[in-house]
Amino acid sequence: MSDTEHPAVIDAVVVGAGLAGLYQLYRLRERGARVRVLEAGDDVGGTWYWNRYPGARCDIESMAYSYSFSSELEQEWEWSERYAGQPELLRYIRHVADRFGLRRHITFGTSVTRAVYDSRTHTWTVTTDGGEEVTARFVVMATGCLSRASVPDLPGLDDYRGPVLHTGRWPHEEVDFTGRRVAVIGTGSSGIQAIPVIAGQAAEVTVFQRTPNFSFPARNRPIGRRESAERKANYAEFRAWLRATPVGIPRPLPERGALEVTAREREAAYQSAWDAGVLGGIQASFNDTLTNRQANDLAAEFVRAKIRQIVDDPETAAALCPTGFPLGTKRPCLDTDYYATFNLPHVRLVDLRRSPLVSLTERGVRTTGAEYEADAVVLATGFDAMTGALRAVDIRGRDGAALNEVWAAGPRNHLGLLTAGFPNLFTVTGPLSPSVLSNMLISIEQHVDWITDCIGHLGDHGLTEIDATVEAQDAWVRHVAELAAGTLYPEAASWYQGANIPGKPRVFMPYLGGVGAYREECDAVAAAGYRGFTLSRLPDAHPTA
Ligand code: NAP
């Protein structure tokens, strides 16, 4: 069969052509499977296709946040910076698509609106926004954890006369803020990266902050040839080490608690993490930061002291100091000159906790304190994380059951991979897997490898269906919740537990056991003949994948 033909029933539909979808396509093609990838954007890249706001940059080191499946790719690609910017990441992903001949299997500009399972044929029929129907034995949702932009329901949004730009849906054409007055709403990772860069261009920047975040200097720098060559000489060992660590990020693994050392040792450890510029480095200085409130307070106070040191105006510094939630329980940020940006004469902070946002007006943003005129409004307001992109598709499993109803009180699945009653539908880095609490590349490769092996196992054994058992699913959901309950994470109203989206059930969604332990569990499940899943076959099945 030619690559461009679309047979009546193909092996797999992969939804999304970001880092997950591309690798899934590569692995299934390697097995000779007939695959189609359906992608909403007009190019590959996923997150790095959509998030092109000024300053967009990965905050995991490039040499760790990259594919490991091909040593040729690993060796030939040269990263220019310790933390790659969005344009370089997109170039890399495009290179991967071209190098491995993946584009011809991808249909761009196409969103999946519906997916319906047929228990009689063990197939899914996927419908696109263009009205096309594709029937496949498996569906892999590679739709990303942070892909559904959240635009808050701000009164007056339609009244505002200037452009409103969401960081997660940034225009593809150049946005020039030179001489403009820019309002930025939101101070999470996206806002914190964008604000210093926008301030470098705009005439005036007004930052509307509801909750201050903990942010640490990234200490980004070019990667020299020598540093790159040294890493490449031991790349396999480096990757193997990352896979066994808690989150797959190159940073030290602490053996002691913050209260087991002297104040001087503690300060030195925090300072060393601050100087290193590694995501989560401060919280990872000691092994109890996320479980012991006293230990957490010490780390948080270290960061607040840094903010007070950097920011000249005491009132602004106080407003920028995060309080009210433990350090690390909202996603920490890495920045370049974020706090120092507030020392610039044309940058001001509006503390929405003191004067809440009332509405957008024709000319700008109104709070209970004043109206701030702006020529453009930037919404750095985040995403309907982890479940948003999945719930946006009308997914119907066995007997017409709707995933949205099954997940009404929060996501349910086994291992974050398959939901009972929705056979043959896999989620890459789905909720209840390490996902956003890990280096996504580590988790993506692990999931895709597991899914590909699973599909291969079914094919090798003449099986046509895999479904999670309700018992295994219930136990997994409980396990993920218990892990979270043993930490300080539930104390923060974070997007990890859906708190940023009105009406979303509060369920802590990422698995907290670490990528190493998680991989072992997934491998053990597979080795035990897919324990916790039911495998079956149609009487007249002729599996091919
Ligand atoms: P986010 O962390 O959810 O931050 C959204 C911000 O918007 C928060 O400050 C939030 O305030 C504010 N906000 C939302 N609705 C608002 C409203 N109605 N009025 C006023 N403020 C409002 O979103 P994000 O910054 O886009 O980051 C999301 C995640 O994407 C990150 O945590 C990270 O995992 C990932 N990310 C990664 C990178 C990277 O690798 N470098 C870069 C960007 C993003 P509240 O906190 O008070 O709700």
Say if ligand 1 is within 6 A of residue 498 CB.
Answer: no
Task: Return d(Cα 50, Cα 86) in angstroms, integer.
Answer: 10
Which residue's CA is the closest to the ligand 1 atom numbered 18? 152
Closest to 367 in 3D by CA, of 180, 196, 183, 212: 183
Q: What is the CATH number of the domain that holds 399?
A: 3.50.50.60
Overall average pLDDT of the 282-288 stretch:
96
Q: In the chain, count of helices (H) and strands (E)? A: 16, 20
Is 116 within 8 Å of 125 (Cβ atoms)? Answer: yes
Overall average pLDDT of the 63-80 stretch:
97
Say if ligand 1 is within 6 A of residue 167 CB.
Answer: yes
- Confidence (pLDDT) at 541: 56
- Rounded to 5°, the CA angle 196-200-203 comes to 115
- The upper half-sphere exposure of residue 163, i.e. CA atoms within 13 Å in the direction of its Cβ, equals 14
Overall average pLDDT of the 129-156 stretch:
98
- Confidence (pLDDT) at 465: 98
Say if ligand 1 is within 6 A of residue 382 CB.
Answer: yes
Task: Return d(Cα 223, Cα 207) in angstroms, integer.
Answer: 32
55 in any annotated domain: no
**Reduced to 3 states, what is the DSSP secondary structure of residue 113?**
strand
Residue 529 DSSP code: T
Q: Is the dihedral of CA 198, 204, 209, 213 positive or negative?
A: positive
pLDDT band with cut points at 50, 70 and 90 for residue 433: very high
Question: Ligand 1 centroid vs 382 CA: distance in angstroms?
Answer: 4
Say if ligand 1 is within 6 A of residue 372 CB.
Answer: no
Length of the chain: 545
- Confidence (pLDDT) at 5: 44
Question: Ligand 1 centroid vs 44 CA: distance in angstroms?
Answer: 24
pLDDT band with cut points at 50, 70 and 90 for residue 315: very high
- Confidence (pLDDT) at 3: 42
Which residue's CA is the closest to the ligand 1 atom numbered 21? 186
Overall average pLDDT of the 57-83 stretch:
97
Q: Both tokens of residue 322?
A: 């995060």
Say if ligand 1 is within 6 A of residue 188 CB.
Answer: yes
Residues 81-114: b if buried by 16+ CB within 10 A, e if exposed:
bbbbbbebbbbbbbebbeebebbebbeeebebee
Question: Ligand 1 centroid vs 326 CA: distance in angstroms?
Answer: 17
Is 286 within 8 Å of 267 (Cβ atoms)? Answer: no
Q: What pLDDT, in 10s, does the model give residues 239-284?
A: 999 999 999 999 888 999 999 999 999 999 999 999 999 999 999 9
What are the start-end ranges of the H helices in 358-429?
388-391, 403-406
Task: Return d(Cα 426, Cα 470) in angstroms, integer.
Answer: 16
350 in any annotated domain: no
Phi, psi of 226 (to 5 degrees): -70, -45
Test site for ligand 1: of 500, 501, 504, 509, most ligand atoms within 8 A of the Cβ: 500
- Confidence (pLDDT) at 1: 36
Say if ligand 1 is within 6 A of residue 146 CB.
Answer: yes
438 in any annotated domain: yes
pLDDT band with cut points at 50, 70 and 90 for residue 62: very high
Q: Which residues contact residue 308 at a Cβ distance below 8 angstroms, ignoring those fewer than 6 apart?
A: 314, 317, 318, 321
Amino acid letter, 434: P
Say if ligand 1 is within 6 A of residue 357 CB.
Answer: yes
502 in any annotated domain: no
Say if ligand 1 is within 6 A of residue 191 CB.
Answer: yes
Amino acid letter, 519: R
Q: Which residues contact residue 277 at a Cβ distance below 8 angstroms, ignoring those fewer than 6 apart?
A: 216, 217, 218, 219, 220, 334
Amino acid letter, 224: G
Test site for ligand 1: of 146, 368, 384, 443, most ligand atoms within 8 A of the Cβ: 146
Say if ligand 1 is within 6 A of residue 277 CB.
Answer: no
pLDDT over threshold 80, residue 174: yes
Say if ligand 1 is within 6 A of residue 328 CB.
Answer: no
Look up tokens 């291969």; give the residue.
456
Test site for ligand 1: of 47, 150, 215, 381, most ligand atoms within 8 A of the Cβ: 381
Say if ligand 1 is within 6 A of residue 211 CB.
Answer: yes
Say if ligand 1 is within 6 A of residue 152 CB.
Answer: yes
Which residue's CA is the closest to the ligand 1 atom numbered 6? 186
Largest CA distance in the chain: 75
Mean pLDDT value across the chain:
96
Overall average pLDDT of the 395-402 stretch:
98
Structural domain span for residue 523: 3-44+102-148+385-460+514-530
Counting the structural domains of the chain, the total is 1
pLDDT over threshold 80, residue 520: yes
Task: Return d(Cα 192, Cα 464) in angstroms, integer.
Answer: 47
Say if ligand 1 is within 6 A of residue 212 CB.
Answer: no
Task: Return d(Cα 321, Cα 341) in angstroms, integer.
Answer: 15
Task: Return d(Cα 404, Cα 10) in angstroms, integer.
Answer: 26
Task: Return d(Cα 227, Cα 65) in angstroms, integer.
Answer: 16
398 in any annotated domain: yes
Q: What pLDDT, in 10s, does the model give residues 205-218?
A: 999 999 999 999 99
Question: Ligand 1 centroid vs 185 CA: distance in angstroms?
Answer: 9
What are the start-end ranges of the H helices in 253-337?
263-276, 293-310, 314-320
142 in any annotated domain: yes
Say if ligand 1 is within 6 A of residue 148 CB.
Answer: no
Question: Ligand 1 centroid vs 403 CA: distance in angstroms?
Answer: 26
Task: Return d(Cα 316, Cα 329) in angstroms, integer.
Answer: 23
Q: What pLDDT, in 10s, does the model give residues 471-501?
A: 999 999 999 999 999 999 999 999 999 999 9
Which residue's CA is the closest to the ligand 1 atom numbered 43? 190
Task: Return d(Cα 397, Cα 58) in angstroms, integer.
Answer: 36
Global pTM exceeds 0.95:
yes
Percent of the chain with pLDDT over 90: 96
Say if ligand 1 is within 6 A of residue 306 CB.
Answer: no
Closest to 495 in 3D by CA, of 373, 343, 386: 386
Q: End-to-end CA distance of the chain: give it in Å, rounded.
A: 14
pLDDT band with cut points at 50, 70 and 90 for residue 545: low
Residue 282: other Cβ atoms inside 10 A:
26
pLDDT over threshold 60, residue 439: yes
Question: Ligand 1 centroid vs 367 CA: distance in angstroms?
Answer: 20
186 in any annotated domain: no
Beta bridge partners of 350: 208
pLDDT over threshold 90, residue 540: no
pLDDT over threshold 50, residue 145: yes
Question: Ligand 1 centroid vs 168 CA: distance in angstroms?
Answer: 10
Say if ligand 1 is within 6 A of residue 83 CB.
Answer: no
Is 374 within 8 Å of 363 (Cβ atoms)? Answer: yes
454 in any annotated domain: yes
